[in-house]
Amino acid sequence: MARWSRSSPARVAAETDQSGGGQPALILPQLATLADRPPSSGDWSYEIKFDGYRLMTRIERGAVKLFTRNGHDWTARMPQLAQACKVLQVDNAWLDGGAVVPDSGGRPDFNALQNAFDRRSTAQIVMFAFDLLWLNDTDLREQPLRVRRALLRDLMQESVPQAVRFSEDFPQDPVSLVASACKMKLEGIIAKRADAPYRSGRSADWIKLL
């Protein structure tokens, strides 16, 4: 299967900002700030807060490494997921996402995720990817979130296994989304500034709403 085409319009736009450096060995995640109400102004997108483990995925010429939010290498603990990530049609990439085990209704089950690690039976773990930080020779972290996610969506439209999924964002108003999340017993909603770059560490550009 061919690698992802360089003719994608979003890809061409991103390539105008070349870092000139090599792919980093480690990128620590951007973390959300807890808030008691949705933002009152600005351009924001809203995603489900998955009840699971944060997962940073590094791909380099077919070799995959899976890191925790603190930078620990957990590749050996999730061999099936690492193998699934090799199907992504890229040469080099960094993805930000979450590792979960869905229940029978498709909702993340944190107890099932913990049990999978305790029993060393992690084949049911799924990664929901929600950000793309590096693609081939391009550092995307200075690009706005909307650009990074457009590239990620294009990438995920290629043939990928069920173990690797795109984390959708939702157009509904945040108040309705939070109410729906509570009704479905989800962990919450993450609001992200659509025009902001990616910054490792705690950030006011990402807000967690309960």
DSSP code string of 13-44: HHTTS---SPPPS--PPEEEEEESS--SSS-E
The mean pLDDT of 97-109, rounded to a whole number, is 90
pLDDT digits (tens, 9 = 90+) for 166-180: 999 987 688 888 888
Beta-sheet pairing, 63-67 with 92-100: unpaired
Boundaries of every domain in the chain: 30-209
What pLDDT band is residue 159 in, cutting at 50, 70 and 90? low
Q: Please say if 86 is a catalytic residue.
A: no
What pLDDT band is residue 4 in, cutting at 50, 70 and 90? very low
The CATH code of domain 30-209 reads: 3.30.470.30
SS3 label, residue 167 = coil
Among candidate residues 49, 86, 185, 208, the one labeled active-site is 49
**pLDDT above 70 covers what percent of the chain?**
89
Chain centroid to CA 125: how far? 14
pTM over cut 0.85: yes
Q: What is the model's pLDDT at position 158?
A: 76
**CB 54, CB 66: distance < 8 Å:** no
Q: Which residue has the tokens 């967690």?
A: 208
Cβ atoms < 10 Å from Cβ of 80: 14
pLDDT digits (tens, 9 = 90+) for 44-60: 999 988 889 999 999 99
Q: How far apart are CA 75 and CA 89, in angstroms?
A: 19
